[in-house]
Structure 1
């Protein structure tokens, strides 16, 4: 009833899950991830206990294939209907599809990922997810890699019943909001005619509001640019004599505080300021 991918970034620093389904609020049931530990996707008559159990096993150093075996062995429920994918901080990912899952059902796994789905339009859904993931190894942005893989599965037919919800969860140590959280991305589309497309729109907004700026693109706040920024901020009611303080105050109101750095301005922030 769902298709998903769990993955690890090329440098091993980030882990995540992307999932879509003809199911209300799939993000509340399927994904789980813990920084420096691993990621789990449980689906098809999902056993939500797999999430804490799987992460606990990964946290003790158990490899993903052995974690999957342990989850299945310890499940007193309808194991034949279960599906799960697991990835750790090193080594191959692992996936399991019970023989009683609604067709088409199956999975694929390799170094740093596992893709799986059930009640799908066909095997191309999982095949295309895996192919997209493997073909994007040079992209350092794991959230975009996971989303691209999910989109590939969606375009291959996805859930044969239709579309309803999607979710994206990415964790990395200290990379969350303000550096005080390990949750880098946590986005959910609970009920939408094009949930994967909407998830993409939300990820772009997330990038704008919550990612730190690329130091290579920063523009020094000097000369004519500083004068322009000062005038625009003054027109918006920000009259602090310290330009950095005035800019930071305005950015906080606009939810752009993660992109503020001293004595410079992010081009994205400048574009937003000019459009205000």
Structure 2
């Protein structure tokens, strides 16, 4: 809080009527970020890393079928929802940005980037953002950074994003963040990171984020964000497997479950539901040793197996159930 208070006081001296520009609720999120659109799928993304606690609650904003925004430096969080509202009214990324900065007396210390659902990008780096501070606009993306250790962070981000064409959008923006850190990153170090990916078309509010990951406090936030993203991918395979089971496509279900297990072979839950699916698919002989190995590591899974028949999630004969529940 001491740094926040001192910075607030300095701004009051520098900008005169600073109480109208800043307040203690505006975090000093000096950082690097990327906003982007996938030219093929239409997905929209925003990703960020900073030496500031819980950057994911301040910088990244996105809405399916609308756009993605990064608001940083002396962060005005309202830029996120306000920009999305303007985009929904038909404003382009540049028009939305111009509207917001024109009305903001603190524009000189703001850094903002917007990508809209058509791939238009716009960015603003205030003249009084702390060096090194800049942004680079590219096809379907913008990268931006401030208070960087070196001067090539944005160039490295842009290059990494462009060279990864063809990969999933989430992977591309994560690679961009990793490239930024390799170029020196935030002069103060690392603390938090976040990534949001939304579909290119409007979705139900409860189903409008493809990826939504945050690391609030970690000495190596990008390493942790990468781990979470890999976990996300593994559970996507699990979800796809569950859907295949619902559709009675056991071949696809097993392929998806096996893909998940290969990514996280030590994850007991992935092993467990794969075994249960095998049992339900009349492959009790394969399921039995898998389940017994799981029970030896954690007997709670044995108790869970006993409860599944009552809700029709395990549909085997009494004889097979005895095999599956005996150690």
User: Is the pair's TM-score, using the shorter chain for normalization, greater than 0.5?
Assistant: yes
Matched, 1:96 2:140: no
Aligned residue for 2:219? 193
Residue in structure 1 matched with residue 166 of structure 2 by the alignment: 138
Deviations, residues 231-266 of structure 1 (Å, cap 9, x unaligned)? 35764643768xx9339xxxxxxxxxxxxxxxxxxx
The answer (yes or no) to whether the contact 2:65–2:202 under 8 Å persists in 1 is no
Higher helix share: 2
* CA distances 1:87-119 after superposition (whole Å, capped 9, x unpaired): 011133111100100000000112211110100
Check the 8 A contact 1:85/1:96 in 2, yes or no.
yes
Long gaps (5+) in structure 2:
1-29, 245-250, 256-276, 293-300, 316-327
1:113–1:226 Cα change, 3 Å = same
Gaps of 5+ in 1: 248-276
CA distance in 2, matches of 1:197, 1:234: 32
1:8-19, aligned counterparts within 5 Å? 8-19=37-48
Structure 1 position 163, deviation (Å): 0.9
Look up the SS of the partner of 2:210 in the other structure.
strand
* 4+ residue segments displaced more than 6 Å: 214-217, 220-225
Residue 204 of structure 1: aligned partner? 230
For residues 235 and 253 of structure 2, the distance between their equivalents in structure 1, rounded to whole angstroms, comes to 16
Alignment equivalent of 2:110, drawn from 78, 82, 96: 82
The answer on 1:28 being equivalent to 2:96 is: no
Residue 271 of structure 1 aligns with which residue?
none
Is the Cα–Cα contact under 8 Å of residues 10 and 137 in structure 1 kept in the other structure?
Answer: no
Structure 1 CA distance for aligned equivalents of residues 41 and 314 of structure 2: 38
Q: How far did residue 48 of structure 1 move?
A: 0.7
- The two structures have a TM-score, normalised by structure 1, of 0.78
Q: Which of 71, 95, 112 is the equivalent residue of 1:42?
A: 71
Provide the aligned C-alpha RMSD in A: 2.9
Contact 1:63 1:88 in 2 (8 A): yes
Would you tell me which structure has more strand in proportion to its own residues? 1
Structure 1 residue 12, shift from structure 2 partner: 4.3
Greater RCO, CA 8 A, separation 6+: 1
Aligned residue pair count: 242
Say if 2:56 and 2:194, in contact at 8 Å, map to a contact too: yes
**Is 1:129 aligned to residue 157 of structure 2?**
yes
* Partners of 1:126 and 1:185 in 2: CA distance: 23
